[in-house]
Amino acid sequence: MNLDNHPCFNPDACKSFGRVHLPVAPRCNIQCKFCNRKFDCVNETRPGVTSAILSPGQAMVYLEEVFAAKGNISVVGIAGPGDPFANPRETLETLSRVRTRYPDVILCVATNGLNVTPYIDELARLKVSHVTVTVNAVDPSIGARIYSWMRVGKKVVRAEEGAAVLLERQLEAIHGLKARGIMVKANSIIIPGINEDHIETVARRMADLGVDLFNAMPYYPNAGSEFEHIAEPDKKTVETIRRKSAVHVKQMRHCRRCRADAVGLLGESPDKQLMHTLNACRRLDVNKPRAGKVSPRPCVAVASMEGVLVNQHLGEADRLLVYGERDGRVQLLEARITPARGGGLQRWETMAETLSDCSTLLVGGVGANPKKVLAGAGIEVLEIEGLIDEAVRAVFTGENLNHMAKRTLTACGSSCGGNGMGCG
């Protein structure tokens, strides 16, 4: 385990080493006024969002796929989409499994700090080497403007009382982590009009506690949150705050405000294949034996004229039926409009993007060009005929579809002009 290979704590490592966040912690014990976890756009890069929630067992299957796809992952972290220690069982079980299976990987956790102290000894035992604690205020009166409420045990605490409890527990947690030799990064979100003049004070307090790194990160406007009307701070304001904070503690300047399911290098575009794999793992029953790799394309598309039979030529299909697993069974998920006719190869390339989550396309007929383009995009095109339900079930169970293969009829060679169906 080379601790210098953590891309967040070491800016020199972020160009070579990546991280993966396992989204196993859905619940949160604090309601921040800048946060709304109900929405997830795959193009959105911010904490608190994920495309799927995994169980610890599913997370291990997914992690295996990540390591197979990416050779530069040095850190396995848990960063939500809620708080890891509002989900202590799932968090610690996942960390334990990862440590057992991958003893040399760096383990990392990001938390609000409200409930981490009871688990610090376990984190140390599991050799969790890095913990990030988000501290947005060290003055309860300012904290009360940032947080709506927090759940302390079974009690919901609000206003300055709640902010004071949070601060006390955050400071206790940081002290405990440092006492056990765990590296600590403090995140502090710059919220214009709320705490931008307070961040340097937070940095000074974190320096007194011996934190290793301080991340003054700009607030990200979040639709549906109480602070959705607040604009993101400009670059000049952020740089001024970081320069003042740097007097007290080392600064992180390369943060990318990672998602709870982030994977790869910092700032790297989302890997669509791994996003499909993540969602496929969400549907896994880890108690059943698994044959081969998890398909990163969990759906099957069908060309059909009436929705009962596989019987339509791809070139004539104005829509394709997409089947996948939902509620424990394979069923029709949606109908997708196909690209307009014409346009040559561009039509089939666009169709490949439309079917990027499909491993197989079942059609009644297909030309050479679309079949080649779709195959190049990882979509197997099968010309068959028969009932959709039977064909789709066979694909999902891995059964042979030879008995449904469409056969081309040829004449016997006589001059009668027959259709190959035999002589009368």
Q: Where exactly are the structural domains of the chain?
A: 3-274, 297-404
Angle between helices 199-209 and 159-179 (to 10 degrees): 40
Q: Is the peptide bond before 47 cis (omega within 30 degrees of 0)?
A: no
Cα separations (Å) of 292 from 61, 64, 289, 360, 398? 11, 12, 10, 17, 11
To which H or E segment does residue 75 belong?
strand 73-78
Confidence at residue 356, expressed as pLDDT on a 0 to 100 scale: 86
Confidence at residue 58, expressed as pLDDT on a 0 to 100 scale: 92
CA 224, 225, 229, 233 torsion-angle sign? negative
**Residue stretches of the chain with pLDDT short of 50:** 409-411, 414-424
Q: 16 with 190: CB under 8 angstroms?
A: no
143 neighbors 202 (Cβ within 8 angstroms): no
How confident is the model over 192-215, as pLDDT tens digits? 999 999 999 999 999 999 999 999
Which amino acid does the sequence have at 401? L
Distance CA 146, CA 226 (A): 10
Separation between Cα atoms, residue 278 and residue 232, nearest integer Å:
30
Stated as kind and residue range, the H or E segment containing 162 is helix 159-179
pLDDT of residue 40: 54
Q: What is the pLDDT of residue 424?
A: 41
Q: What is the pLDDT of residues 263-283, one digit of tens each?
A: 988 888 878 778 878 877 877
On whether the pTM is more than 0.75, the answer is: no
The CATH superfamily of 297-404 is: Dinitrogenase iron-molybdenum cofactor biosynthesis domain (3.30.420.130)
What CA–CA distance (Å, rounded) separates 149 from 147?
6
The predicted pLDDT at position 420 comes to: 42
Give the architecture-level CATH label for domain 3-274.
Answer: Alpha-Beta Barrel (3.20)
Mean pLDDT of the chain: 88
pLDDT the model gives residue 419:
43
Q: Are strands 30-32 and 299-302 parallel, antiparallel or unpaired?
A: unpaired
DSSP structural state of residue 318: S
- Quote the tokens at residue 316: 């004539």
Q: Is 200 helix (H, G, I), strand (E, B) or coil?
A: helix
* Residue for token pair 């039926």: 321
**Model pLDDT, residue 410:** 47
Location of structure tokens 């992952």: 73
Sign of CA dihedral 143, 144, 145, 150: positive
* Angstrom distances, CA of residue 127 to CA of 104, 111, 114, 210: 10, 17, 21, 19
DSSP class of 341:
S
69 contacts 18 by C-beta, under 8 angstroms: no
